[in-house]
Amino acid sequence: MIDVIIAGGGPTGMVLAGELRLHGVDVVVLERDAEPTKVVRALGLHARSMEVMDQRGIAGRFLDAGTTHPLTGFFAGIDRPAPERLDTKYPVVLGLPQPQIERLLTEHAVEAGADVRRSTTVVGLTQDDEGVTVELADGTSLRARYLVGCDGGRSTVRKLAGIDFPGEPSRVETLLGEMEIGIPWEEAMPLMLEVRKTQKRFGVGPIGGSATYRVVVPADGVNEDRAVMPTLDDFKQQLVRIAGTDFGVHSPRWMSRFGDATRQAERYRSGRVFLAGDAAHVHPPTGGQGLNLGVQDAYNLGWKLAAAVHGWAPADLLDTYEAERHPVAEEVLNNTRAQIELMKVEPGPQSVRRLLTELVRFEEVNRYLIEKIIAVAVRYDFGSDDELVGRRIGDLALKRGGLYDQMHAGRGILLDQAGTLSVGGWADRVDHLVDVSEDLDAPAVLIRPDGHVAWAGADQAGVEGALARWFGAAR
């Protein structure tokens, strides 16, 4: 029996596969498409996702392949510089198209030992107390202890598991593609900038040093059949309608469409079946949060599934995945709804936009919105009054280097500044790190494998209670 089957080989599925393999879990990834997608729906990684990569020792791969950009304009396109001294070593957005992100994550997962099977479509599932049977389109089946649906907004796994997906359908739609233009960029850029003054869902821009341009333009209505892709004529007509010219677009590499549907799965778990990424939530792409949200779902779920497979997970550990990640996605749905409203061209939304533009000049407002977008302000509710507990931890400067360098193995860490505590019977799951940091205002902290603080304090009884809560019984 396979330990975990992952349906969907996008960024969410590949992060999850890499996390599971880090813990020695047997993983099979089933991907419907024969080849990796060329469609660029996401353009980069935010701070928290880069921290996740750093904690596993692979951030350099992404930094080498991408380009860093200032954190400005990420809330509804309101152009305001990011606040100073953000609580992260990555106070930027890393520009990197989704196909490249997916390629790097796939390479990492395969290097770790994940079995990735393309041209493989899930068509059915049944589950019992021991596992899940997954039926495939070729008539064969696979058996696993757990199944995770990372198969996108139209998730087959979610439907087969009988999980409702309530929310709002698309009210507006946008065309997106990569193609060449027929006029010099020096002529196209002023036209694009003039339209962007009022139409924030519009853009034409070069991709790297190539002759290809990324074109984004509002569609004429909403196409109910999501399988129908736009044509070049659709782009031309909408460009003329919005900008007064079609920019001479030609030779498209790919074309797509996306809407502003906002939906969230009513639950993230059904027995031995879980949902992550777009299978669990869809929302407008404003702020560039979608791919990042899925990556962070997988990071939360991976170590918990591994604990269950290896038999040391506390009874309710798998349930904490939904308890922690559902509210985070709910917040993202809320802020993307707000951003879509602020990007409308009608007088009402524009007046609210002008007011918010004034408010963002206040440092506290600007910081609040940016930290929301880049997900460094996420705090899980662990029932503690301590401000550290539940928050993700930054890359603290230690005597032996950065904290993130100590997290590559994906184990828990007890960072003990006084050296007076012990992990005792949890040493097979948790490292005892005796070191000091001027950045840590606590005698000791217990850090989960996903980088969130599970406990802070100075007493052995307190840390043992937290160890039992998150890492099961002592051995």
Residue 122 has pLDDT above 90, yes or no: yes
Mean pLDDT of 435-455: 97
- Which pLDDT belongs to residue 79? 82
Mean pLDDT of 126-135: 96
- Which pLDDT belongs to residue 407? 97
Instruction: Kindly report the pTM of this predicted structure.
Output: 0.92
- Which pLDDT belongs to residue 201? 84
Q: What is the mean pLDDT of the chain?
A: 93
Residue 334 has pLDDT above 90, yes or no: yes
Q: What is the pLDDT of residues 163-185, one digit of tens each?
A: 999 999 888 889 999 999 999 99
Same fold, 2-167+263-374 and 173-259: no
| Class of the domain covering 173-259 | alpha beta
On whether the CB atoms of residues 410 and 265 are closer than 8 A, the answer is no
* Domain 2-167+263-374, CATH among 3.10.25.10, 3.50.50.60, 3.40.50.300, 1.10.10.10: 3.50.50.60
* Neighbour-count burial for 387-414, b at 16+ CB within 10 Å, e otherwise: ebbbbbbbbbbbeeebbbebbeebbbbb
Residue 283 has pLDDT above 80, yes or no: yes
On whether the CB atoms of residues 431 and 450 are closer than 8 A, the answer is no
Mean pLDDT of 252-266: 91
Mean pLDDT of 431-436: 97
- Which pLDDT belongs to residue 142? 98
Residue 473 has pLDDT above 90, yes or no: yes
Mean pLDDT of 128-137: 96
- Is CATH 3.40.30.120 what the domain over 397-471 is classified as, yes or no? yes
Alpha-carbon distance 345 to 264, whole Å? 27
Highest averaged pLDDT of the listed ranges 189-203, 361-375, 408-422: 408-422
Residue 91 has pLDDT above 70, yes or no: yes
CA-based end-to-end distance of the chain: 26
Q: What is the pLDDT of residues 20-71, one digit of tens each?
A: 999 999 999 999 998 887 777 777 899 999 999 999 999 999 999 999 988 8
Residue 127 has pLDDT above 90, yes or no: yes
Residue 210 has pLDDT above 80, yes or no: no
**Domain extents in the chain:** 2-167+263-374, 173-259, 397-471
SS3 for the chain is CEEEEEECCCHHHHHHHHHHHHCCCCEEEECCCCCCCCCCCCCEECHHHHHHHHHCCCHHHHHHHCEEEECCCCCCCCCCCCCCCCCCCCCEEEECCHHHHHHHHHHHHHHCCCEEECCCCEEEEEECCCCEEEEECCCCEEEEEEEEECCCCCCHHHHHCCCCCCEECCCCEEEEEEEECCCCHHHHHHHHHHHHCCCCCCEEEECCCCCCEEEEEECCCCCCCCCCCCCHHHHHHHHHHHHCCCCCCEEEEEEEEEECCEEECCCCEECCEEECHHHCEECCCCCCCHHHHHHHHHHHHHHHHHHHHHCCCCCCCCHHHHHHHHHHHHHHHHHHHHHHHHCCCCHHHHHHHHHHHHHCCCHHHHHHHHHHHHCCCCECCCCCCCCCCCEECCCCEECCEEHHHHCCCCCEEEEECCCCCCCHHHCCCEEEEECCCCCCCCCEEEECCCCEEEEEECCHHHHHHHHHHHHCCCC
Q: What is the pLDDT of residues 357-403, one digit of tens each?
A: 999 999 999 999 999 999 999 999 999 999 999 999 999 999 999 99
- Which pLDDT belongs to residue 395? 97
**Lowest-pLDDT range of 74-78, 119-123, 350-354:** 74-78
226 pLDDT band, cuts 50/70/90, is low
- Which pLDDT belongs to residue 178? 92
* Sign of the alpha-carbon dihedral angle for 372, 377, 381, 384: negative
With a pLDDT cut of 70, the percent of the chain lying above it is 99
With a pLDDT cut of 90, the percent of the chain lying above it is 77
